[in-house]
Structure formats: C-alpha cells, structure tokens
Structure 1
Amino acid sequence: MTITTHLMRTRRFLPLFCTQLLNAFNDNLYKTAMVLFVVYQVYNSEEAEGMFSAVASGLFILPFFILSALAGQLADMRDKAAIIRRVKLCEIGLMLIGASGLFLAWRGFDLPLSIPLGFATIDTTLPIALMLLALFLTGVQSTFLGPIKYAILPQHLRKDEVLAGTGLVEAGTYVAILTGTILAGWIPIEWAAGLIIVTSLVGYVTARQVPSAPPLGAIERIDRHILRSSVALIRRTMHDRQIYYAILAISFFWTIGAVLFIQFPPLAKNVISASKEVASLFLVIFSVGVAIGSVAVNHLLKGKVSARFAPFSVIVMAGFVVAFWFVARIWPVPTEGPLLDVPQFLAVPMAYPLLGALLGIAIAGGMFVVPLYAFLTTRVAPEQASRTIAANNIVNSGAMVGGALLAMALTAVGLEITDQVLMSAGMCLVSCWLARRLVMAERAAEAST
C-alpha cells in the first residue's frame, strides 16, 4: 500500500482533504457563476462589466488584507480543527445570502438600492448587493482557512507522509477549482444557487471529522488591533531577505494575475464575442496551465527549493502576454449574430493561438510563483508557519486590491480591455527584477553557510 493510498483511508487526512476540496470547489463555483451571470445577463456595457468584475475581485481580496494578521495568530494559538469547524458553519449562512442574490437576479427582481459610503452613494440593486456581500464574506472565510491549510498537515502526518499529503491537497484543490469553474459556465444559475448551499452543508459535515490540532508553541496574547497586528506581523516576517523578496515577488505576480482575471470575462464577451462557456474555458485553461507549470518547475529543480528559474519564467510569461494581446487585437469580430459557443469559438482559426498564448502565460506563471511559496514554509520554524503565510497574504492581498483598483481606474478613463492586457506584460518586468533580487539573496545565504 502506498503512502498516498494509506492517507486517503485515514481520519488524520481524509476529512481535511475533503473539507479543503469542497471549500475550493464552492468558492470558485460561486465566484465564477456570479461574475459570468452579471456580465452576460445583467449588464450590457463593456465599461459596466469591467467595473463590476474589478469590484467583485477587490471585495473578495479585501478581507485578506484586513484580517490575515488575526487569522495567522489564531491558527498558531488556537486549535486549528476548531477554527475550521466554526468557519465552515458560517459558510452555510453566507452561501444562503449568495444563493438568495443569484435567485432574485435570475427571477428578475431588480430592486433599486442606494448604498451610502459617506463620501459617495452607490446605486445598485438588491440582488447584486446580496451577491457582493456574500462574496466579501467568502473572502473572510478563505482568510481564516488559508493559513491553517499549510500548517495543520505536519501536526496530523508523519514526516514521511507530509510531502504526499501536501501533494494530494494541492492536486485536490486544482481539481476542485477546475470543476467549480467549469460548472459555473455550463449549469443554469438557479442550479448553481442550490448547489452552493448543498456543498456548504456537506463541507460542514466533513469539517466535523477533522481531528484536533492544538497549538505547537507557547500561547501568546492575540493582538486584535487589526492595523497594529498587521504591521507587527509583516515586520517580524520580512527581516529575512529571502522571505522579503519572495513575498514581494509573489505579491507583484498576483497583482498581474488579478488584472488578467478581471479582464477575462468582459474580454471574452466584448472582444472575442464569445459566450460565458468560452469565458469559463479561459479560466479553466489558466488553472490547468498553473498546475502544469507547478509540476514542470518541480521536475527541473528536482525537489530543491530554489528561485533560480523565476526571473526567466516571468520574462517568458511577459512574452506570452504580448502574444495574447496581439491575437486579441487582430481577432475577427463578427458584425452580427449571437455570441460564439465553444464549438463555434474553436472553429475560428485564431482560437488556438489565443488559447496557446493563455496556456503559456499560466505555465510560465506557475513556474515562477510555486518555488517562491516554498520559501515561506521552508525558511521559518514550524510554529511560525501560519503567521508567515498570513503576512504573505496581507502583502499579496494589498497588491491584488491595488491591481483591482488599477483596472477600475483604467476602465473609468476609457482604456480598452485589450490594451489593459498589454500593460500586464510591462508589470512582468518588475516581477523579474524582484525575482533576480531573490536569487541573489538565496546565493548569498548559501555562501554564508
């Protein structure tokens, strides 16, 4: 019996694996179904669609920026299994809110709603407000579960099982992301509304079976002051030059990723003239590419944690971004008729170069970012792992919110979606510089030992 087969038969691993898989599936099913429905069924303006996609991305990411310090402290100072159970119980309520918004929008209840923000008033509808509220709460849930996913496995598994367990969790997460993304583009919105509720209920049942995981180190006082604790956490984490440059490089990479993900749905509809199933296909290709890149770089590095391929990878990524922009610019836009479905899209000769460029972006991106994440778990003590991941989440989310705000600003000033893609290629150059600094810090650390 292999270690993998053995783990899938034990309570030490299987409930956590199932809980993480269901969480990733539900998050992506809800997020993708909501964005595709609003872009394709509610709005009929490229500017409004791009703005909604940016607002949705920013709302989901914002909790990581605000609450990651508290989440990291709780994960290191409290029973991780207890936190998982409480968070998954709350997920049932937030999915009821999201399903209500999806159902009301599907039924056409466009009830006007004005939301005062002090400096401005946002005019929207009740269904969209409910959907965005649920999306924000989904971000809160993911903020508290994120650090635990990486830190709980060494407590439940033996040393010779940790690598296999981590690989299973990552593989299961990718499968769940792909499944949720594909279903969101293909099933009716009312089915999606029901399925997210059912999945949250099943996820709570599996979470109840996760064994206890008490704190490993000394219990410290939890600082609930959000700003102070966030600043203190980042300062404690970023003193190591390798961790510092790894976090900065990861953050800038996800800024690029945030801009690209915001652009995909409106670009598919307004530039490619394609249906929501094709927009879903774009997201699937991206996820598959990141998974391929993850496996490829691990093979090249032969299991050694190193950033030496990162600068080259992100330059290759920039080249594929330019190729994607070029194909989108010369895409033959139909003058009339319905949006292209998947077979019609694939019948267009330029479809394969477009998908090839998108796959190349994702593969190179996976090769760039995956080794950098390994620095965060191999360069710190085990009892500090959750807080290191939390510090990374704070900086990452701040950068991603910045990317969402940048996309909103560019849309507001009238820059075309296609040209916003080209801007991402320029941002890759900054990531290359940060990765180069990380490689230099890595070599300096090796020389001193």
Structure 2
Amino acid sequence: MTIAPSGTRKALIQNVTHLLGTKRFLPIFVTQFLGAFNDNLFRTAMILLVIYGIYRSEEQEAMFSAVAGGLFILPFFLLSALAGQLADATDKARIVRWVKTAEIGIMLFGAAGLLLLNVPLMLVALAAMGIHSTFFGPIKYAILPQHLRSDEVLGGTGLVEAGTYIAILGGTILGGLLVVQDAGGRYHAEYAAVGVLVVAVLGKIAGQFVPAAPPSTEDSGTINDPDLPRPGMDWHIVRASLGLVRATMHVPRLFVAIMAISFFWAMGAVLAAQFPPLVKNVLGGDQSVATLFLAIFSVGVASGSLVINRLLGGEVSARFAPISALLMGVSVFALYLLSAAWSPFPELVGTRQFLAEPTGWPVVASLFFVALFGGMFVVPLYAFLTTTVPKSETARTVAANNIVNAGAMVGATVLQYLLLKVGVSVEQTLLLVVAGTLVSAFLGKKLHRACLAAGHP
C-alpha cells in the first residue's frame, strides 16, 4: 500500500500547486486553517494570561493548565459519535456553516473573558471551542473525497495537514505576542480578544463558499460488522459512542492504529498542559519563552511529518513507529534531566536571556526532538487510518478514533492532576510521558507486524 507510487508523484506535486486555486478545495482549506489558528490563538492567550497575569501559585497554575486541557478534550470523548453520524448523514457544507456561526458566539464569551480577566468565562469558551472542533474534525477528512478527484485526494490531504501545522504555529505565536505586560506589571489581552473575534468572522465568511457535500451513497461492509445495526442518527450519546467504537475497533489493524495514536495524544496532552507552568516555575522564563516552547513543538511535529514521508518514500507504513517512539522517550527524558538540574532565575526572563544560559539551547533542542520523533511516529498512523477505509466510512472511522483519543487524553489529564495533588513536581510528570513512549513503541511494533501479515509494508 502506498500513498504516492513513483509513477504518480509528479502528478501529486502538480495537485499541490493547483488545488489552492480551485473552488472545490480552497474554501474548506481556508476554513479549517482559520479554525485551527483561532483555537490556538485563544488557548495560548488564555493560558499565558491566567498563568502569568492572574494566578500566583505554582500548584494553581499547573492545575489550571491540566483542567483547561481536559475541558477542551472532553467534548471529543462525549460527542464524536454524533459528529461522525452527522458528517456521514448530512450535507457537510451545511455543518461547516453551522459550526462557523457558532464560533462567533463562542468567541464573544472568550473575548469577554480575556478582557475581564474572568477565568470561568474563558473556560466556558474553551469547552465550547472543543465542541466546535469535535463537529468540524471529521468533516475535513471526509469532505475531500467528495470534492476532489481520486488522484487529488492525497495531495489535498497533505495540504490540509500542512495547513493545520502552520495554523497551530501561527496561532500559538500570535497568542503569545498579544498578551502584553504594562508598565505596572499587569498583563492584558485586549488585542487577543479582538483577534479571536476577527478570525471567527473570517472563518464564517470562508465557510460560506464551501461547495455542497451531500451524504455519500457508497456502502461497504469492510469496516463495520454486518451484524451490527446501522441506523440513521442515534442521539443517545453513550450508546452511539459505544456502538461506533465497537463497530470500528473490531478490525485488528484499526484497533492497534487507534490505540497507538491515542497513547501519542495522551502523552501530548501531558506535555502541552505542562509547558507554561514548566517554563515559568521551573525554568524561570516569561510568556515569550512559553510561546517559544509551544512554537518549537509545532515546528518539530511538522518537521517530523516531512522527515518520515521522506524516509518512507511515500509508503503508508508503521515500520519506523517503534524507533520513533523510543527516540521520543529518550528526548523527553533528556528534557526532564535538564529541567531537574536547572537553576531558576531570581526573576522571570525573556527568550534572549533564557537562550544565553549554557543549557538553554539544549533544553530547546530536546523539546524539538520530542516533537520531531512524535511527528514521525503519529503521521504515518493517521495516513494508515484514513487511506484504508471506504469513503463512506471515513468520517465515522475518524470519529471513533477521536473518541478513543479523547478518552486517553482525559485519562492522562486526570492522572496528571492526581500526581500533582499528591506532590509530584511539574518536571517529574515528564516521566509519565517517558513511560507512555514505551507503550507506544510496543503498539507501533504490533501494528507493523499486523501490516506485514496483511501484505502491507
């Protein structure tokens, strides 16, 4: 199985250059780009504002970061089944317009929270953005086969993924820059409040141009158990979620792929939650250093996706997954050792002074390699998940993956919260990630063996 056989690589390159000029692709690309950008703009501004401008307790800051991550993730766990059913049963362009309209209302709450320094308002907006992303997530994968020719789908998918990483990076950097400190030492986020509203409106405008994408009539029993009922919409959240996961996870290759992806995102949830408190309370950096960490992580994951695509030569394969997970673990352990040995500054310092320290660049390098090897691990697994299912079942498969991913991330967040409550330090929670990479390496090896047994590379 290959993403791009050698005879078609030139065509895929042409696809990448021309799709951005087509009405079939550009609106959904811009819409998803702006959604990912706004997610990260708001979350970064909120977390930095709360940690640097509101709370004054290391324990409070670590707890807030963990709770914020959990609130954003929880809707994926609860509502992904409904999102997958809607995406397969309703015009996807109509859903895009619904969620983009909702985003404007959500960001009104978010902007108010940023302006008033009101933590509950910000958390309400964050949870609502999690719901927004839950319903939009399956669409960006499932809509492409309907709007693009079969020889364009992979090129379009690559553009969407690349655009998402760029949006994450841009939103993270801008979110950090728009949280400013005045002469009196107080932190403000007025510009960020305006920014999230402007981006939400632009996303709504872009969503209006997405072409109609009615439900697919293709039907295949290759994934879902033919003995299981396949009704229209099941609005019972628990029953729908359990049914969707059961109907997808009974396929061995999908089960292992989803479990491997879930462990990756569980580790990612722990890392992302601890970056700001780790920077402030352990490394002594200000919000610019925290922004640098988040940006480096995004760049690292994007770089990992490019590296692994080059190594695999276009094949969808898990053969590099075990070594990638192990190298990620080594990098996280190096970050832990550097953090544990760090001598904090007497006051918070900016990026220049942080990097001037002898161990400043090694800390950044270890973080980059954590993300690099993480990207090398997870990107082929997503490609495997989305290219081995029928078009009519892509949204449901992605939704099932999102449910399990979210469950793993919520579980990791709860465990992290409990560890912090019993006195485990912020830097020591990195050891939880190290342990998780060992499980991920095992699952990656198991998936590779399953692929070989099925005749795939």
Report the TM-score when normalising by structure 2: 0.91
Gaps of 5+ in 2: 1-12, 180-188, 220-229
What residue number does 1:323 align with?
334
What residue number does 2:33 align with?
21
Matched, 1:166 2:178: no
Matched, 1:92 2:101: no
Cα deviation code 1:341-371 (max 9, x no counterpart)? 0111111111111011001110110011111
Cα distance in 2, alignment partners of residues 135 and 145 from structure 1: 15
Deviation at 1:423, TM superposition (A): 2.3
Cα distance in 2, alignment partners of residues 346 and 289 from structure 1: 18
Matched, 1:151 2:142: yes
Give percent identity, aligned residues only: 55
Higher mean alpha-carbon deviation, 4-13 vs 95-104, is at: 4-13
What residue number does 1:434 align with?
443
Quick check: 1:66–1:394 contact (8 Å CA) kept in 2? yes
Deviation at 1:220, TM superposition (A): 4.5
SS at structure 1 position matched to 2:454:
helix
Deviation at 1:333, TM superposition (A): 1.5
Cα deviation code 1:37-87 (max 9, x no counterpart)? 101111111100000000000000000000000000110111000000000
Cα deviation code 1:9-30 (max 9, x no counterpart)? 2211111111111101100000
What residue number does 2:53 align with?
41
What residue number does 2:7 align with?
none
Q: How many residue pairs were aligned?
A: 425
What residue number does 2:274 align with?
263
What residue number does 1:299 align with?
310
Matched, 1:194 2:185: no
Deviation at 1:445, TM superposition (A): 1.2
What residue number does 2:85 align with?
73
Cα deviation code 1:404-426 (max 9, x no counterpart)? 11111111111111111122111
Q: Kindly provide the amino acid, as one letter, of the partner of residue 290 in structure 2.
A: A
What residue number does 1:141 align with?
132
Cα distance in 1, alignment partners of residues 14 and 437 from structure 2: 41
SS at structure 2 position matched to 1:11:
coil
Cα distance in 1, alignment partners of residues 455 and 155 from structure 2: 27
What residue number does 1:223 align with?
234
Cα distance in 1, alignment partners of residues 390 and 145 from structure 2: 12
Alignment partner for residue 18 of structure 2, among 6, 31, 38? 6
Cα distance in 1, alignment partners of residues 453 and 160 from structure 2: 33
Alignment partner for residue 430 of structure 2, among 421, 424, 434? 421
What residue number does 1:58 align with?
70
Alignment partner for residue 362 of structure 1, among 371, 375, 400? 371
Q: Kindly provide the amino acid, as one letter, of the partner of residue 206 in structure 2.
A: T
Cα deviation code 1:188-219 (max 9, x no counterpart)? 31100011011101110110000000111269
Cα distance in 1, alignment partners of residues 267 and 22 from structure 2: 39
Cα distance in 1, alignment partners of residues 94 and 406 from structure 2: 25
Q: Kindly provide the amino acid, as one letter, of the partner of residue 285 in structure 1.
A: I
Deviation at 1:6, TM superposition (A): 2.3
SS at structure 2 position matched to 1:430:
helix
Cα distance in 2, alignment partners of residues 52 and 432 from structure 1: 30
Deviation at 1:330, TM superposition (A): 1.3
Cα distance in 1, alignment partners of residues 432 and 149 from structure 2: 46
Q: Kindly provide the amino acid, as one letter, of the partner of residue 247 in structure 1.
A: I
Matched, 1:394 2:394: no
SS at structure 1 position matched to 2:213:
coil
Q: Kindly provide the amino acid, as one letter, of the partner of residue 333 in structure 2.
A: V
Alignment partner for residue 298 of structure 2, among 275, 279, 287? 287
Q: Kindly provide the amino acid, as one letter, of the partner of residue 292 in structure 2.
A: L
What residue number does 2:120 align with?
129
What residue number does 1:245 align with?
256
**Where does structure 1 differ by over 2 angstroms across 4 or more consecutive aligned residues?**
1-6, 217-220
Q: Kindly provide the amino acid, as one letter, of the partner of residue 66 in structure 1.
A: L
Cα distance in 2, alignment partners of residues 250 and 170 from structure 1: 16
Alignment partner for residue 173 of structure 2, among 161, 182, 185? 182
Gaps of 5+ in 1: 106-126
Quick check: 1:238–1:244 contact (8 Å CA) kept in 2? yes
Cα distance in 1, alignment partners of residues 14 and 264 from structure 2: 36
Cα distance in 2, alignment partners of residues 137 and 155 from structure 1: 28
Cα distance in 2, alignment partners of residues 164 and 254 from structure 1: 25
Cα deviation code 1:209-233 (max 9, x no counterpart)? 0000011126951111111111111
Cα deviation code 1:245-296 (max 9, x no counterpart)? 0000110111111111111100000011000110011011111111111111
Cα distance in 2, alignment partners of residues 36 and 150 from structure 1: 31
What residue number does 2:95 align with?
83
Alignment partner for residue 32 of structure 1, among 20, 31, 44? 44
Deviation at 1:170, TM superposition (A): 1.4
Q: Kindly provide the amino acid, as one letter, of the partner of residue 402 in structure 1.
A: G
Q: CA RMSD in A?
A: 1.4
Q: Kindly provide the amino acid, as one letter, of the partner of residue 193 in structure 1.
A: A
SS at structure 2 position matched to 1:160:
coil
Q: Kindly provide the amino acid, as one letter, of the partner of residue 408 in structure 2.
A: A
Quick check: 1:77–1:220 contact (8 Å CA) kept in 2? no
Matched, 1:384 2:361: no
Cα deviation code 1:143-200 (max 9, x no counterpart)? 0000000111111111222222122211111111111100111123110001101110
